[in-house]
Structure 1
Amino acid sequence: MAKEIERKFLIDLNDAKRLIDKYSSSLSYIKISQTYLFNSNSRIVCDFHRNMWLVSMLRSEVTIEIPFSSSLEDHDSEQLRLALDVCSGEKPEIKDLQACDKSSFRFRLAKGKCIFTFKRKVPDSEIAVYEFEYAVSLSNTSTKELLLKSPGCIHKTRYPIVLDEYNSKSKPVVLELDVFDHSDFGPYLECEFPTEGESRAFDFARFNVGKELSHLKGYSNKELSMKLINSDTCN
């Protein structure tokens, strides 16, 4: 388990383009697709007896098994239990995901890899979340196709911008500029920090950012995914 401390801002598209041009000599980009899980498209079981997540996509017969052992950090079942707010049981199921606004579940496809992530808001913090990440095998090609075609799948291009002049004592400061394929969203400029103090001290104004979105529910990627699902339903 890791703790994610992130601040996020809207940025004008022209300012985003100028930022890309300024750092173009050292800039790379990552194509990202993200599928969020809701009651309408999935069923999630966290099975502490079998030590795995079981994710069933409702519009298919596919169940994706994700062992705890595939965690990208040292896995801690007790911390996971606390984050899920469940008691010991054979199959504590997460019900009504849409109503659980303090948590999110997603699959991310990037650089030929797939990561399953569960996030839970840290109590008494506006911007920090607990984050559990697990590698997912793509040996079955139908899994990738299923996730990409899932309703509400978000597609974006991420530009990581390393700021050498702002290197933290704990870790480098890396701005992440997200430009969405969906014209109604973003762009967003965000950055993760080792501590909340460093996040508050960082000068985002120098990048001509707009409204801060860090603590606003309606601008999370999860909410954007739901807007896409609702849009498809209406059309």
Structure 2
Amino acid sequence: MHGEEGNRLGLKLPYGASLFVREENSCYLELFDLIETRIKRLAVSSFDITQMNLKNTHVEELVLVDEEALEFFYNSTENSEFYVEKVSFGNKLNPKSETFLRLIERVHEGETAAPRKIKNLVLGRNSFFGFLEKTRRISQRKIHVEEVVVTQNGKGTGPETSTRIVVSKKISITGNARVLLFIELGPELNHLDIDELQRQCRSPRIVLRSTS
């Protein structure tokens, strides 16, 4: 899709622009010069991101929409020539897949080629408790994210694990309130008092209503 130097006569993106790239519209990338560019938000679906010439480009947020995009990005991180500040995981991903978990490990271990932070983590389709079980292998036992969206139905109490998800900016929970037992709030959210809810979650004699 790109030559050695890319399309140096192409259009330059103004700062603040966002891109959504999938296989069907990837041909239009030929119109742009993306080398040494700062992209605010780049969402990728079923597309190999290495097909884009992003040499010396800074991506503030990379959104991996589906499994194919995740696989392509994960397999290219060691040889990538662009910098990703934050990564977001879309709702079409399987949070218990090996590639998903390995990328989260890379972020938290501070690998040079990995994104620096996780911006948005979506755990839908009753995947929250299963995700926690799988992430026991992360040595820090805390997964730091800016935003988390959880949909967990049923009355399960969750796994026996010390792993916690630390949320710094935004939280949305639908369904089982016991999800809160595995959540910690960062300084920007410490005005939200969830201690009483967590206490109720630990009591087997209290029936909890679903929360959102």
* Shorter-chain TM-score tier: under 0.3
Q: Which has the larger radius of gyration?
A: 2
Between Structure 1 and Structure 2, which shows a larger proportion of strand residues?
1
TM (norm. structure 1) is 0.24
* Larger RCO (alpha carbons 8 Å, 6+ apart): 1
